[in-house]
């Protein structure tokens, strides 16, 4: 379970100023930010005042908006992107591809669309040795949807929507240890509580520990395909309650204590660019299945979490190097950042997340293996 971020009083909130850099910004991060013209004189990162009440946060982006997935516009062969690369490396059979020899900031519009389709097919795509500023990272993210500007997490000063991923900073609020690991060291996917949750996330890590700090991703397409056809019928069309990572007070009942934002989405969703079904649950933020008793819901969700988390053949574990970007699709994955370095060396990066469509289910949609002609007799 994620630590609960408790709200603060309006009196304190109104007096909050960005904190001076007391941790010591890693030198590789500092050089990247200064090269980008980021003003660090008022402290780093920028920390917005945390909203206090649940209803205020519910109102953020609480509306439907049109969305067209860029991958749906792409050439299915992705020639503009793949022929421009020096090398294309598929890291596992089911998930994860590394592109060598391209700079993300220089992609053409056609290549951006094709990258969107590649991410939709391979779930996560990696680019090493990237020379990209937070501003350029945000501009690229805008191609894939509205950028999420979080109401309370730290961001790069002057560049709203570029979240700072710095486990040492998080540890100042939620101390970590070997037994209670820090950072994002749990299986999850981002922003499931949104009316239209996250699509593509781009994490650029400029600073990485010498040993450790890997990130793992698991495929929602393959997790769904691991289920028997009979079991798929049990969960197809079912909905679940998904909650926020942060908690807030109920304005009408503040003494009840912190509460989470909750929204209802399908357990199995269809990706608009590929048309394939994917299991969409995560242990950190899926609360319960709508219409089932708690015991029934807990039993089914526990099994689904295990399918996602324990089948290593549908996962990829990526070893970062400084200056690497990972772009993944939250609609079809869960991920987990290893904290095996235990904070002994710095890890720092910036993240941009584009919001996508409202999740939907289509009974007639195929699985990935069915669409690619890989399904065996027990898959149908």
Residue 59 maps to which CATH number?
3.60.130.10
pLDDT for the residue 172: 78
Domain-embedded: residue 380? no
Active-site choice (243, 335, 347, 368):
335
Is residue 343 within 8 A of residue 170, CB to CB? The reply is no
Domain-embedded: residue 378? no
pLDDT for the residue 183: 61
pLDDT for the residue 6: 43
In tens digits, what is the pLDDT along the chain, a chain of 380 residues?
444 444 444 333 333 344 444 578 999 999 999 999 999 999 999 998 888 999 999 888 999 999 999 999 999 999 999 999 999 999 999 999 999 999 999 999 999 999 999 999 999 999 999 999 999 999 999 999 999 998 889 999 999 999 999 988 877 777 777 877 766 778 999 999 999 999 999 999 999 999 999 999 999 999 999 999 999 999 999 999 999 988 899 998 888 889 999 999 999 999 999 999 999 999 999 999 999 999 999 999 999 999 999 999 999 999 999 999 999 999 999 999 998 888 889 999 999 999 999 999 999 999 999 999 998 877 76
This prediction has a pTM of 0.91
pLDDT for the residue 375: 82
Domain-embedded: residue 379? no
Domain-embedded: residue 9? no
Domain-embedded: residue 12? no
Alpha carbon 321 to chain centroid distance? 19
Domain-embedded: residue 114? yes
Query: Which residues make beta-bridge pairs with 228?
Result: none
Active-site choice (47, 193, 204, 351):
351
Tokens read off for 232: 């798929």
* Contact residues for 367 (Cβ-Cβ < 8 A; gap 6+): 221, 224, 225, 276, 277, 375, 379
- Domain with 38, as residue range(s), is 24-372
Distance CA 62, CA 332 (A): 23
Query: Which residues make beta-bridge pairs with 349?
Result: 165, 205
Told to judge if 351 belongs to the known catalytic residues of this protein, a careful annotator would answer yes
Domain-embedded: residue 16? no
Residue 344 burial by Cβ neighbours in a 10 Å radius (0-12, 13-18, 19+): exposed
Active-site choice (94, 113, 122, 190):
190
Distance CA 290, CA 189 (A): 20
pLDDT for the residue 181: 72
Identify the residue whose tokens are 């009942």: 253
pLDDT for the residue 13: 38
Q: In total, how many domains does the chain have?
A: 1
Alpha carbon 379 to chain centroid distance? 29
Alpha carbon 55 to chain centroid distance? 24
Domain-embedded: residue 19? no
pLDDT for the residue 176: 78
Told to judge if 335 belongs to the known catalytic residues of this protein, a careful annotator would answer yes
- Work out whether strand 286-289 and strand 348-355 pair parallel, antiparallel, or are unpaired: unpaired
Active-site choice (188, 265, 283, 369):
188
How many residues belong to the chain? 380
């Amino acid at each position: 379970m994620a630590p609960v971020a408790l709200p603060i009083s309006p009196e304190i909130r109104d007096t909050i100023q960005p904190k001076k850099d007391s941790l010591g910004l890693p030198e590789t991060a500092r050089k990247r930010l200064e090269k980008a013209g980021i003003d660090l004189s008022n402290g780093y990162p920028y920390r917005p005042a945390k909203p206090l009440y649940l209803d205020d946060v519910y109102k953020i982006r609480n509306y439907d908006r049109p969305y067209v997935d860029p991958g749906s516009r792409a050439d299915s062969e992705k020639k503009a992107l793949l022929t421009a690369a020096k090398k294309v490396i598929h890291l596992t059979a089911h998930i994860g591809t590394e592109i060598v020899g391209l700079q993300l900031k220089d992609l053409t519009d056609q290549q951006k669309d094709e990258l969107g389709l590649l991410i939709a097919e391979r779930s996560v795509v990696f680019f090493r040795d990237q020379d990209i500023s937070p501003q350029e990272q945000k501009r690229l993210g805008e191609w894939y949807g509205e950028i999420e500007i979080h109401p309370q997490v730290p961001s790069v000063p002057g560049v709203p929507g570029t979240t700072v991923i710095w486990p040492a900073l998080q540890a100042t609020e939620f101390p970590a240890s070997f037994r209670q690991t820090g950072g994002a060291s749990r299986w999850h996917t981002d922003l499931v509580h949104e009316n239209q949750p996250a699509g593509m996330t781009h994490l650029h890590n400029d600073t990485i520990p010498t040993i450790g700090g890997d990130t793992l991703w698991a495929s929602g397409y393959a997790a769904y395909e691991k289920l028997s056809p009979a079991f798929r019928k049990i969960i197809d069309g079912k909905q679940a309650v998904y909650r926020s990572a942060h908690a807030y007070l109920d304005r009408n009942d503040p003494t009840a204590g912190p509460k989470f934002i909750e929204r209802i989405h399908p357990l199995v969703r269809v990706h608009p660019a590929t048309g394939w079904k994917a299991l969409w649950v995560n242990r950190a933020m899926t609360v319960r299945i709508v219409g089932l008793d708690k015991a029934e819901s807990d039993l089914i969700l526990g099994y689904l979490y295990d399918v996602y988390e324990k089948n290593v053949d549908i996962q990829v574990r990526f070893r970062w190097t400084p200056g690497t970007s990972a772009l993944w699709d939250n609609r079809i994955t869960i991920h987990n950042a290893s904290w095996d370095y235990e904070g002994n060396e710095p890890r720092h990066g910036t993240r941009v997340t584009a919001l996508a469509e409202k999740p939907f289910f289509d009974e007639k949609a195929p699985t990935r293996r069915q669409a690619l002609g890989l399904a065996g007799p027990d898959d149908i």
